[in-house]
Chains A and B, each alone.
Chain A
Amino acid sequence: MLHTVNKSPFERNTLRSCLRLAQKGSAVLLMEDGVYAALSGTAVSDEIADRMDDLSFYVLGPDIAARGLSESPLIGGVQVVDYGGFVDLVVEHEASNAWL
């Protein structure tokens, strides 16, 4: 399953709920305000770093760039995709679940 998270982890519990209910082997795409969760050195970075072994993490590049974060270091292992990569992730996973 592909999970998408579009909320800042500093404002909502969306990411936390997603991580709690995502099964091992799932993918998580951070998009829109969800991209703030992909940055390293924040108060919530460990929540993603700690799950790197059982989930794969992606972040939507255009949303990173729009927010002035292109040069900001990401948590190790988070892969940057564009909208085409987002489409590929949806194709690769049998279902997607948007945590709104």
Chain B
Amino acid sequence: MSDHVPLTTDRPGQVASAAPPAPGRSRRLGDRGLAVAFISPALLLLLAMSVFPLLWALYLSFTDYSATRGGPANFVGFGNYTAILTSAQVHTRALTTLIYVVGAVGLQTVLGFGIAYLISRRTHGRGVLTTLFLVPMMLSPVVVGLFWRFMLDAQFGVVNSMLGSVGLGQVEWLTRQRTALLSLVVVDTWQWTPFIMLIALAGLTAVPKYLYEAASIDRASEWFRFRTITLPLVWPLLLIAVMFRAIEAFRLFDLVYILTNGGPGVSTETLSFHIYKVAFLGFNTGTASAYGILMVLVVIVLTQFYLRYLNKLKEG
């Protein structure tokens, strides 16, 4: 391609306006060629680092390959898939993941929207408030997980210390089955409520003021205005945020790994965490691959919903 570039226009900058290079030939550089040249490197990286690994995982999922045992991989057909889909262990993890996703995303949505609504009603200090609320979201899951682990410690954790000072009993947050999952939901909510808040706030501030003015002329009640003006206008954007969070929550791994390590027992093992155990502690690479592929299928379906909706919203 480069041989099409006229030699005289190597550095057109200095003389650009005074003496532009001769028009004509240069256009034939070819938009098509340029597009291919610009897009393909990025696509190649994605193919090598995302698509190829997934195809490999797909192949492994039909074998009994083990990463440590080595040796040849024997073809086992759909054996891994039936084993996973009928496994009671997997069903337990699916339920845990579902409870976690619904609980965490639900709480985040309610709280995030609530905070956004309160902030949007303030005239002053919105910028500062928003910035402060956004801090948890920017932290690494490692920092968040470790720090909450410290704060929720049964002996010297500050949460129990505060509970004690108001006369409430001590709670073994991370070492009891029920409270461990609850802790996970709480920590995730703490970190990601700002995400929903940020997007809800964008929706809320975009609602045209005249709609409210018209409504107050009509003496519409506060609740009526909220239900008929605010909510319908913010809802599409809020749904985008909720779907985004749901996909992310479904894949959750790092917070579990750091906060509870799946325990006590298996009470906080999500699907991602279970895959990690099957692959890296059980060394059943074939089974783990099938497990992973099934998870990817779910993610693809969720992502399709998300992208379709996003597309509709952009065009609408």
Tell me if chain B binds chain A. Answer: no
**Chain A residues close to B by CB (< 8 Å):** none
